[in-house]
């Protein structure tokens, strides 16, 4: 393995087990998850000197969150870029630890989207908000979240000859993994999924159309939930309860609509090469790919843009369940079940880091034997619109 710099590692994680939980608040999910992630690492609240928060859930950010937790961090970072926030925050904590500004960083997410019955996919893009330079050319046409992704999928089909069954393979693969994850199965039960089982490409294509060409089973579920991650400096990480998972590469980027631009190319095309270059790795060397799956098209574009396959060729790359954990055709994809079949309380980037960590510890419910290298890639904002990409490369100890 290349001699990557190993200055900080993920040393503790906790995922909130329930996906429908009306009896707790988003802040309670965050605080309890941090406490249990610290227990997972064998650390205490007194060890925490870095607080990284995306202002999600009930908000509070650095000010409110520190007061709620009763800690006095020396570093506070409240970067918020949607679903990629926690990849950005992980990268920022790595830089702060390397600079000696903190030693133990905590970050947590809490969402109550299902309990609040928040119809995320039906929101009008960039709305509600007063007229501005960002909204005045789009809000009047009432473009929704799901229609924005459908537009990218339709363009991908037109531009590359992509077929609906190509997208459907992604949903079938993530459900295959979800059915091995008891918490994901319980989530689908609590959220009243019909006919909970492994699904086929035909099942996906026969589910009702939501926004052409995207079907119901190509759209993420809406859930409650959350979790926490603890990242520590090397000298701390080497003495924690479990083996550290090292952060060895990261990249951030943003993309937006431009005249003549290609909406099928995401910001991952910029962030990915930076992260892989820093990690001294190629995409084909990775065992695990945790890719933000708000919709099937999101995964398709990001797999291509990160370099796992050439642009327009993801259909052949994922064909026949190639990215299942028990196959050897490529990195195992979203082995917790992903947003498509496990959870999506809001900013799902944190769950990508957690499942990648479980895989590299050997603790996943769809465990890849001997997994050593993983990527966690978050996509925040709207694909085809303004969005941010955060790519984190992780290595087992």
pLDDT values of the chain reduced to their tens digit, one per residue, 397 residues? 455 789 999 999 999 999 999 999 999 999 999 999 999 999 999 999 999 999 887 767 778 899 999 999 999 999 999 999 999 999 999 999 999 999 999 999 999 999 988 666 555 444 456 777 777 766 676 778 899 999 999 999 999 999 999 999 999 999 999 999 999 999 999 999 999 999 999 999 999 999 999 999 999 999 999 999 999 999 999 999 999 999 999 999 999 988 889 999 999 999 999 999 999 999 999 999 999 999 999 999 999 999 999 999 999 999 999 999 999 889 999 999 999 999 999 899 999 999 999 999 999 999 999 999 999 999 999 998 899 999 999 999 9
Asked if residue 387 belongs to a domain, the reply is: yes
Whether 164 and 213 have beta carbons less than 8 Å apart is answered as: yes
Residues paired with 335 in a beta bridge? none
How many Cα atoms are found within 13 Å in the side-chain-facing hemisphere of 78?
A: 12
Asked if residue 157 belongs to a domain, the reply is: no
Whichever domain contains 309, its CATH number is 3.40.47.10
Peptide bond into 47 cis (omega under 30): no
pTM, entire model: 0.95
Asked if residue 79 belongs to a domain, the reply is: yes
Asked if residue 338 belongs to a domain, the reply is: yes
Whether 11 and 94 have beta carbons less than 8 Å apart is answered as: no
Phi, psi of 143 (to 5 degrees): -75, 130
Instruction: Give 97-165 as a DSSP string.
Output: HHTTS-SEEEEEEEEETTTTT--GGGSBTT-SS---TTTTTTGGGT-BHHHHHHHHHHHHHHHH---HH
Distance of alpha carbon 247 from alpha carbon 94, whole angstroms: 8
How many Cα atoms are found within 13 Å in the side-chain-facing hemisphere of 272?
A: 25
Asked if residue 380 belongs to a domain, the reply is: yes
Q: How deeply is 44 buried, as exposed, middle or buried, from its count of CB atoms within 10 A (0-12, 13-18, 19+)?
A: exposed
Supply the angle between the helices 296-305 and 164-178 in degrees, to the nearest 10.
100
H or E element in which residue 172 lies: helix 164-178
Q: How far is CA 360 from the centre of its chain?
A: 16
The residue range of the domain holding 96 is: 8-116+222-396
Asked if residue 149 belongs to a domain, the reply is: no
Distance of alpha carbon 393 from alpha carbon 276, whole angstroms: 7
Asked if residue 340 belongs to a domain, the reply is: yes
Asked if residue 154 belongs to a domain, the reply is: no
Q: How many domains does the chain have?
A: 1
């Amino acid at each position: 393995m290349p001699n990557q710099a190993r200055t900080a590692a993920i040393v503790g994680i906790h995922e909130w087990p329930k996906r429908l939980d009306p009896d707790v608040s988003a802040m309670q999910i965050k605080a309890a998850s941090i406490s249990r992630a610290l227990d997972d690492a064998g650390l205490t609240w007194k060890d925490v000197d870095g607080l990284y928060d995306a202002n999600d859930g009930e908000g509070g950010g650095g000010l409110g969150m520190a007061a709620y937790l009763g800690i006095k961090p020396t570093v506070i970072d409240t970067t918020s870029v949607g679903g990629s926030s926690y990849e950005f925050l992980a990268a920022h904590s790595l830089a702060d630890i390397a600079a000696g500004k903190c030693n133990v960083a905590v970050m947590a997410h809490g969402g109550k989207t299902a309990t609040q019955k928040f119809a995320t996919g039906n929101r009008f893009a960039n709305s509600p908000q007063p007229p501005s330079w960002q909204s005045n050319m789009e809000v009047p046409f009432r473009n929704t979240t799901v229609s924005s992704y459908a537009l990218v999928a339709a363009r991908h089909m037109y531009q590359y000859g992509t077929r609906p069954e190509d997208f459907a393979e992604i949903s079938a693969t993530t459900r295959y993994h979800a059915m091995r994850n008891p918490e994901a199965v319980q989530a689908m039960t609590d959220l009243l999924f019909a006919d909970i089982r492994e699904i086929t490409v035909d099942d996906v294509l026969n589910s009702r159309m939501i926004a052409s060409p995207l079907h119901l089973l190509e759209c993420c579920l809406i859930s409650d939930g959350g979790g926490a991650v603890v990242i520590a400096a090397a000298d701390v990480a080497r003495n924690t309860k479990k083996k550290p998972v090292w952060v060895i590469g990261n990249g951030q980027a943003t993309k937006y609509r431009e005249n003549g631009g290609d909406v099928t190319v995401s910001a991952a095309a910029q962030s990915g090469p930076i992260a892989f270059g820093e990690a001294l790795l190629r995409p084909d060397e990775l065992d695990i790919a945790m890719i933000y799956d708000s919709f099937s098209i999101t995964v398709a574009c990001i797999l291509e843009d990160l370099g796992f396959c050439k642009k327009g060729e993801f259909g052949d790359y994922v064909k026949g369940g190639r990215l299942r954990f028990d196959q050897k055709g490529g990195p195992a994809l979203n082995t917790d079940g992903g947003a498509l079949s496990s959870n999506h309380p809001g900013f799902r980037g944190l769950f990508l880091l957690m499942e990648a960590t479980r895989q590299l510890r050997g603790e996943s419910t769809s465990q890849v034997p001997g997994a050593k290298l993983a990527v966690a890639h978050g996509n925040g904002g709207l694909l085809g619109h303004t969005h941010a990409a955060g790519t984190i490369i992780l290595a087992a100890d």
